Every structure is written in structure tokens, then in C-alpha cells.
Structure 1
Amino acid sequence: ILLISIWISLQFGALDIKNNKIIDIILYHLGWNETIYWTKTESLIIWDMRLPRILLACFAGAGLAVSGVAMQAAVKNPLADPYILGISAGASTGATAVIAIGFIDITKEYAVSIGAFTGAITSMLILFLLNKQNRDSVRLLLSGCVIAILFSSISSTIMFMAKDKDKISSVVFWLMGSVADADWLMVGMVFIAVIIGVFILMLYHRQLNAMLLGEETAHTLGVNINKLRWQLVILVALMIGIIVAFCGMIGFVGFVIPHIVRSIFGANHKFVVPISAFIGAIFLIYCDILARTIVIPEELPIGIITSILGAPFFIYILERNKYIFGGKK
């Protein structure tokens, strides 16, 4: 289904390119085809524009989904996701500062990404300092909410003080999320971060299952809850920092996808983690298709699409399956 979704997405765009030509262009750049019968424009559109943005959406969706899985297990709360812990808010503040004030001009093309990643790591460090001796997941969640509010306020202040309207428009569009500026470097960095994250979470699937049973049960089973919780927070911060740095703020994926997967496949993280990654990837690919085709020639921020599609679908799943966090009905 994922491969079919990628193929369908390649065919959408302002310029109509035939299927066989799309295949041959990709094979040519992979070194498996030497015959050229297409224009430079067609090659540019397929290889340098459509394919990178599709793959970026794919890996970002997978990363956001598994981050939600990790956070919900870490704090044993169905409302938890990277946005609630303030990690995404920190990233948005870093990016807002770069765009609106013009920090780190020497980095040019990747200044926003560097700013966003720095903001994400900063918010994670503050979260760690506030909860250094803490073993309570509720305090961790509340600290994250406070950090999210703090960084959101800083972002709003920066936008209010900025006098350049074009820069403010750029900030607003970035905050809503987009994969329109994707290139192969971005794809590679997000891919590495997500693959490492999914691999580590797969190794920890038994510990994640134990955490859902409660702290006392997990301790009895030999799980160091506090240590594991912080390992998960750091892992998610690094993943989300890289994703938000290149894609902006794309909400709802990390919140809704894990719930949908658990309601259909059960709560065993051996299956929840990989299936969430695949469904998150597929979901964001189709959101990107809608974002670039629904108001042609303009393009909607992908974050708007994820919220519009995610909320009612989540309500439908809840009503249909009478879903309870931690398992099937």
C-alpha cells in the first residue's frame, strides 16, 4: 500500500507526465536506464521536486507516528505526543527567530532548519532540568505543557515585533507545516533519524508493553522506568527536532495514528511501532497530495490537511470500536 501510494503521488502535479516516462526518469537517475527522451523540465519535476517531497512526507509521517507511540507509552497518557511535551513548540520558536529576526544569516539555505533543531533541543534540555529527579509522569506532562506555552508565547512575541510582513507570512506558513521545499539532503537526514528511532523502539517493545501495565508491574519485570522514560524523551526530541526543522509544524499525526493502530491491531508494541510507522507514512503522503492539488495553482500547508482529516477520522474510530487506551474494547 505504501509503494502504491508513492506511485499515485508521483502522478499528481501541475504538469501531466506519462507513467512510463516517470519510471524511465527514475531508472535513469538510479543508473539503470541510459536512454533519454524527456525534457530537462520533466526530469527536474520528477527527480528533484516530486520524489523528494513524497519521500520526505513518507519518512516524516512515519517519524511523527512512532514519536506519538513512544510518548504515550512513556507517560502512560493517551493525550501525550511530542507537541504536548513542548518539543515542537521549541522547534517553532527557533525557526520563527531565524525567519523573523534574521539570525544565522551565514547558513543561508538551512538557517531555518538549524534554528528549529536548536529550539527543539533547548526545550528538551529545559524539560530534563525541570524533571531531573522526578519519577512522576504527570509532572513530566505538566512541565511539557508549561514549556509549550512558554515557547509559543516567545514565538508570538517575535512575530509581533517583526516589521517585515513577508517574513511574518513565511513564519505563519512554516508553522502550518510543508514539505514543498524538500531536497535529497533533507530526505536523507530525516530517513536516518526515523530509521534509527523505529529500530530502537522495536528493540524496546517489551519494555513499552510493561510500562502500559503500570510502574509497579514494570519494576517487578525489571524495567527501570525513569531511565527508560528519559531515553524515550531524548529519542523523540532528536527525531522531532529534525522533522520539524525541515517540515515545519505538522500536528495530529503523532496523536491520532497510534490510537487508530491500537484500536485495530491491539496494544502490543511489537506490532504497534512498525504498523504506526507505515500508516503514518501513508497518511502524510495522501495529505500532501491534497495539499498540492486541492487549490491549484496555490498550495495549502500540510498541517491544515492533517487536522481536517485526522480529527473526524479519530472520532469515527472511537465511536465504532469503543476504544480504551492500552488495548482493544
Structure 2
Amino acid sequence: MKPARRSCLMSTGGLLVLGLALLVLSIVVGVSVGAVSVPAETVLGIVANKLFPGAVEPLWTAGREAIVWEIRFPRVLLAGLVGAGLAMVGAALQAVTRNPLADPHLLGISSGAAAGAILALLHTGLFLGLLTVPLMAFAGALAATLIVLGVTRFASATSADKLVLSGVAVSFVIMAFANILIFLGDPRATHTVVFWMLGGLGLAKWSHLLFPLGILALTTPYFLAKSADLNAMTVGDETAATLGIPVARFRLTVFVFGALVTGVMVAFSGIIGFVGLMIPHIARALVGGSYLRVLPVSLLLGAVFLIWADILARTLMAPEDMPIGIVTGLIGGVFFIALLRSKAGVGGR
């Protein structure tokens, strides 16, 4: 038993090392690729010179340096942070709901965050400065979470499938409210809302990265520390309760933390669906069901996936940027159908 467990941990460790290497490679490729191609060695030279001034003799133009450092690098890093956060939240939600289809997008959390961001942009104004949009997005995400929980209790929708259906229904209602906000807003400013409706990373700035990075730094240790509780929740509420876990309070805490992460990510990236649905399934297929391994692998895979989705969004219709939500929606929709097919196949045997 112990050798098998040690082998599993070693394979997980090797996978994490491989994932980190793939993440670094993805960042370099993401910064290099675009309407103006920049060689990888130039990218590395610019980054090294920024981190350690004078370390590399600048053989590149000021224009290329601006493209790499001011535009693409923060965009790629934001993609990695958003992908990691959404994947981690999706994994945690799938555990506490015991639903393999749970996802911040399908449960209406992303829609609530987008509605909060739209309310701040078109109606309330930035009354708290740069913090306004993330805080309003979090408030919207938290409100959507509480509404979904209230609907499931009101409709006695205790099953996993009905929870997702409740989330989808609430998502439609919230998006209708968001559309009303757009309709009543200043027509000259409504075009900016398309960013939040379709998802995009083109507005990324270095100053923006502090918020998603800070939220991940605050919430990731909590989820990792509660990995054993997440494992117990996947078995069932009764088993978790016998292990001393306050089931209702723990589930609500995970939802609140998930709303916090989703709200901040949506505030800077718009609605990006299916990342939280797909990545945890891939992570479990690679390392098994233990959340002590699923969570870190999901973080890495989520970051890598969204960086490459953004690369596709920037190159498929170059020099125009395709909204990244379209790319993740196409990939995620196919994955969702395949997942439903696999579940139907298992149930039919």
C-alpha cells in the first residue's frame, strides 16, 4: 500500500514539474505570438533586462519592447491567473455539490459577477476607484450564489442535476437583469460591456494583476488546507458529518470563496465559461480523486489552458482579437457533450 501511494505522489510531483515547465513555455509562446511576431530569445532578453537592468544588451527596438512588456506579458499573465482561479473554483464546487457538471459559469456565479461589473461601469461609476469593479463583481457573484442556494431550497432541488438546472435558470434571470442595465445605460458606453459579455483579456495592465494574484494568494491556501474535507464531501453529506465537518457551513464557505475568486476574475476578464468544468475532470483523470493532488494540478492546467485559448483568440482572426469566451465556449461545449455522453454510457451499462 505504501509503495503504491509513494509512487502516486512521485508521479504527481513529476506531473507538477512538467506542468510548471509547460506553463513557462506557454507564457513565452503567448508573448511571442501575435500580429507582430517576436522571437522567443528577444522575449527572454526583454524580460531579463526588465527584471535585472543591464543584464542583456538591448538589440531590439523600443516598439518591440513595449509590445512585449506593456501589452502581451501582462495579458498572458492575466490569462494564467484567471484560468488557474476558475479551475480551482470549479474543482471545489464539484466536490461540495457532488456534481461533475458544477462550474462557476453554469451555476450563475459568472453571470452575477458580470452584472455587478456592468452596474459599476454604466450606473454607479468608479466610486471606490479601481477597486469598484472587482468589489461590485464580487457582490454580484455572491448574490447569484445565494439566489441559487435559495432557489434549490425553495424548489426542494436537492439532487446534483437539479442544482445545475437551478444555476442555469438563475443565470438566465441575472443576464436578463444585466441586459436591462445595458439598455438603461449610456449608449455611448455600452460598447465596452461587450468585453464582459463575451470575455477578453485585451485590457490587461500590470496594475490589474495585483487583484487576481492577491485573491489567489489568499484563497488557494484555504482550499488546499481543506482538501481532506473536500474529499469527504464527494462521498456524501452523511459521511462528511460523521467526520466532524459542519457540512452546511463548509459548503456555504466554499461558495463564498468561489464567488470571491470568480468575481475578481470576471471583473478583469469578462465571462469565460467552461474552464471550471473541464479542467478538474482532466486533473482527476491524471492524478486520481484526492483533492490534495487535484487542486494544484487544476491550477496549473487551468493557467496553461487559458493561455493557449488566448493565443488562439489572438491568431485565428489576426490582426483582430476574437473574444476569448467564444474560444472557451466552443471547446467547452464539445467537452460538455462528450462528458454527458460518457456519463450516459456508464449509466447504460
Q: Secondary structure at the match of 2:124?
A: coil
Once the two structures are superposed, what CA deviation does each residue of 1:85-124 show, in whole Å capped at 9, x if it has no partner? 332111111222344x343156676754454334224434
**Farther off after superposition, 198-207 or 110-119:** 110-119
Secondary structure in 1 matching 2:317: coil
Whether 1:63 aligns to 2:85 is: yes
The answer to whether 1:148 aligns with 2:174 is no
Q: What's the % identity of the aligned pairs?
A: 36
The counterpart of 1:103, out of the listed 119, 124, 132, is 124
Question: In the superposition, relative to structure 1, how do residues 324 and 2 fare at CA in structure 2: closer, same or farther (>3 Å)?
Answer: farther
Q: Which amino acid aligns with 1:158?
A: L
Unaligned runs of 5+ in 2: 1-21
Normalising by the residue count of structure 1, what TM-score does the alignment of the two structures yield?
A: 0.86
Q: Which residue does 2:106 correspond to in 1? A: 84
Q: 2-side partners of 1:124 and 1:11: how far apart?
A: 39
271-280 or 140-149, which deviates more: 140-149
| Deviation digits for residues 109-155 of structure 1 (CA, Å, limit 9, x no counterpart) | 6754454334224434556777899x985587666455423321111
- Out of 234, 237, 244, the residue aligned to residue 259 of structure 2 is 237
1:137 and 1:183, CA in 2 relative to 1: closer, same or farther beyond 3 A?
Answer: farther
Closer/same/farther in 2, CA of residues 322 and 128 from structure 1, 3 Å limit:
closer
**Distance of aligned partners of 1:280 and 1:97 in 2 relative to their CA distance in 1, 3 Å threshold:** same
Q: CA deviation at 1:251?
A: 0.3
Contact 1:260–1:317, Cα closer than 8 Å, also in 2: no
Count of aligned positions: 324
Equivalence for 2:19: none
Cα 1:142–1:225 change in 2 (3 A) is farther
Whether the 8 Å CA contact 1:260–1:314 is kept in 2: the answer is: no
- 1:54 is displaced (CA, Å) by 0.5
- 3-state DSSP class of the match of 1:300? coil
CA offsets 1:218-246 (integer angstroms, 9 cap, x no match)? 11222221121111011101100100011
User: 1:47 — aligned with what?
Assistant: 69
1:170 maps onto 2:163 in alignment: no
Q: Distance in 2 between matches of 1:319 and 1:142?
A: 18
Within the alignment, does 1:10 sit opposite 2:39 as a pair? no
CA deviations on 1:188-236 (whole Å, 9 max, x unpaired) are: 2212212332221111111111111111111122222112111101110
Matched, 1:123 2:144: yes
Name 2:16's counterpart in structure 1.
none
Query: Structure 1 pair 261/281, CA: closer, same or farther in 2 (3 Å)?
Result: same
- Note the C-alpha offset of 1:305: 0.4
Matches within 5 A, 1:1-329: 1-34=22-55, 35-99=57-121, 101-104=122-125, 112-124=133-145, 126=147, 138=159, 144-162=167-185, 164=187, 166-313=188-335, 315=337
1:256 to partner: Cα distance = 1.4
Query: Unmatched 5+ residue regions in structure 1?
Result: none
Q: Return the TM-score normalized by structure 2.
A: 0.82
Q: 1:227 to 1:323 in 2, by over 3 A?
A: farther
Question: Quick one: which amino acid aligns to residue 149 of structure 1?
Answer: F
Counterparts of 2:338 and 2:243, CA distance in 1: 36
- Confirm or deny: 8 A CA contact 1:75 1:137 kept in the other structure: no
Q: Is the 8 A contact 1:178 1:303 kept in 2?
A: yes
What is the RMSD computed on CA atoms of the aligned residues? Answer: 3.1
